[in-house]
Amino acid sequence: MCGITGIFHFDKDRRVQQNILKQMTDIIHHRGPDGEGFYCHNNIGLGHRRLSIIDLSTGDQPMFNDDRSIALIFNGEIYNYIELKEELKTLGHRFHTTSDTEVIIRAYEQWGIDCQNKFNGMWGFALWDKHKQQLLLSIDRLGIKPLHYGIHDNTLLFGSEIKSLLAYGFPTKPNDEVLGLYLTLSYLPAPYTYYKDIKKLQPGHCLIIREGQVTEKKYWDIPQVPEAQMLTDKVQVYEQFESILKDAVKIRMRSDVPFGAFLSGGLDSSSVVALMSQIASQPVETFTIGFQDKAYDESHLAQEVATRFNTKHTLNYVQPDSFEEALKHILFHYDEPFGDSSAIPTGYVSKYARQNVKMVLTGDGGDEVLSGYTVYQGEKFAHQYQKLPGFIRKGIPNAVNVSSKLMRGRLKYTLNRISAVTEASNQGFIPRLINKVSWVEKGVLQNLMGDSSKYMTIEDYFHDVFAQCNYQDPFYQVMYFNLKISLPFDMLTKVDRMSMAHSLETRIPFLDYRLVELMVKVSKNIKMQGYERKSVLRNTVGKALPKNILHAPKKGFGVPLREWFKEKSFENHLNSLSNQDFGLNSNTIQTIVKENQLGKKDYGNFIWMLFVLRNWLARP
């Protein structure tokens, strides 16, 4: 795991200045504190920061082939590098290191850009081919590792993080058009960033820069199987799933440094720990973040798993006084507004884990691969609900809304959710999904933003996304959205930035592409038997877990911001939020804050999103 950055001048007579390349590389020191390396040749410059995990002695980068006509910088891990190395040896290739980096070079020599399809791993890499005068930029199939790029000063600039491009002097003009996307989703999907001319490379894509042209190519996509051909043999699915997941965990435990696991107390991370414990020759180190607010805390469940599998367990707590530090941390490491508040506990668990290990396995991706979010239950419910007579469907939300007005606190929040689910079930799929993913009601957002003609609408964006989707069943359409949009640009972005902020590598077994390709072909009735979430996992690896894990309600890795923002200590923060002009309606902000304080609505995460946006816009 590392950080990469680079410069490519389109003018072949213009030489890269290594001192500028070093500035771009130094600013991502946190991604690779173990070493640095540079390659400058005429108009091409590659910079690398190394976090050494495999081949500690001979894995330095940039790495070259034998005649130095190929130069590679690489962020990530190729988990099947041992198997690929053996295959390449039979094809006549000789190796000088034990690193997975050299495997990429030899694979490129053998298969060209098609080598990307041979890798099982996570990566962002840049490969310069001197003979072809070609630069190849690539990221992995699911976007676990990031790559940002832009053209400025007749130069293509790229980096693992946007801050490398800014260190070159890239213009910082905000991309105001995407404000509505951020305020709806809490993140910005590729290719967009909050900078006018900087883009994110999309998962499963690569850029080929040659003869002054920049060409984007898709080398992989999720297989969209016709719904009538979905797999329905439960026994076969269970066997294949368990076999692949076990191997995915095993190959991700390849490491030359100490490692452990994040353990939230949920089904996914608990299953990963269970499999690690079967494979490891000594107790697995596990790390958990807890909250004093029991509604958000699963540390007691994590402890049950730690006890069952005899792990070396560490528990730490996140407190409200972490707010200021967390805000500064997130503004620096995300480079643009990123409003998913679960970045806060992710940062803290990464910090504490790094004190003991250099790499962890996580349970991320399980909800996406297994169709395990509650939204999938909602889609099944909507399918049944829409069969009811119209007067009943309209009457239920009205009755719930009347009851909600008489309540306060958690019961009111529960009734609000019931009302939202029943109202959404009366709508079409895209409006229903927008309601589900939005952090604030559409009317409130319109009042907040004012003239919407200046912004890209979430409706237009969703229509563009689903124009590429062949599924007709809303259950599979949600699966498509989760795998293509929310997974890479919310969940994986969150984990990458917060773990690398502490120089910690995270590996994600559920996102082994073999597992993804299997599970997208599985019928929804196998994935979710009745309304049971993650039936496939529960009936395979889950059988080894404590029963409390299997029966626990679904909890996100959230922060009790709703309650924090009711506390007196936040009053000055909240007043400044609504009094400072940053392009949004201050009266609407005051209403949002007030309704959260009175317990009428849960606007905790949305208020956090506003704090992040305001402070990012006010950066120097």
Q: What distance, in Å, lies between the first and last C-alpha atoms of the chain? A: 30
Q: What is the DSSP string of 323-383?
A: HHHHHHHHHHHHSS----TTHHHHHHHHHHHHTT-SEEE--TTHHHHTT-SHHHHHHHHHH
Query: How many C-beta atoms lie closer than 10 Å to residue 340's C-beta?
Result: 27
Query: How many C-beta atoms lie closer than 10 Å to residue 280's C-beta?
Result: 18
133 touches 210 (CB < 8 A): yes
201 DSSP 8-state letter:
P
158 touches 6 (CB < 8 A): yes
142 DSSP 8-state letter:
T
Structure tokens at 352: 């504490």
318 touches 289 (CB < 8 A): yes
Beta strand extents in 378-427 (DSSP E only): none
Structure tokens at 319: 């407190």
Query: How many C-beta atoms lie closer than 10 Å to residue 369's C-beta?
Result: 31
Rounded to whole angstroms, how far apart are CA atoms 72 and 55?
16
Q: Which one is catalytic: 2, 40, 115, 206?
A: 2
Known active-site residue 206? no
Rounded to whole angstroms, how far apart are CA atoms 222 and 453?
34
Distances (CA, A) of 441 to 332, 375, 409, 574, 595: 29, 17, 19, 20, 13
Structure tokens at 42: 């005429």
Closest CA to 341 of 619, 607, 614: 607
Rounded to whole angstroms, how far apart are CA atoms 568 and 547?
40
Structure tokens at 206: 């690569």
Structure tokens at 595: 């309704």
Counting every residue written for the chain, the total comes to 620
374-377 contacts at long range (C-beta below 8 A, 24 or more positions apart): 374/533, 374/554, 375/433, 375/436, 375/478, 376/475, 376/478, 376/479, 376/524, 376/527, 376/528, 376/533, 377/528, 377/531, 377/533
110 touches 88 (CB < 8 A): yes
Distances (CA, A) of 54 to 57, 60, 97, 299, 414: 9, 10, 10, 32, 48
Residues in contact with 20: Cβ distance below 8 Å, sequence separation at least 6, in sequence order:
7, 168
195 DSSP 8-state letter:
B
Distances (CA, A) of 127 to 107, 209, 307: 12, 11, 46
Token pair 């003009």: residue:
173
* Dihedral over Cα of 410, 566, 373, 399: its sign: positive
448 touches 584 (CB < 8 A): yes
Q: What is the CA radius of gyration of the chain?
A: 24
Give the residue numbers marked as catalytic: 2
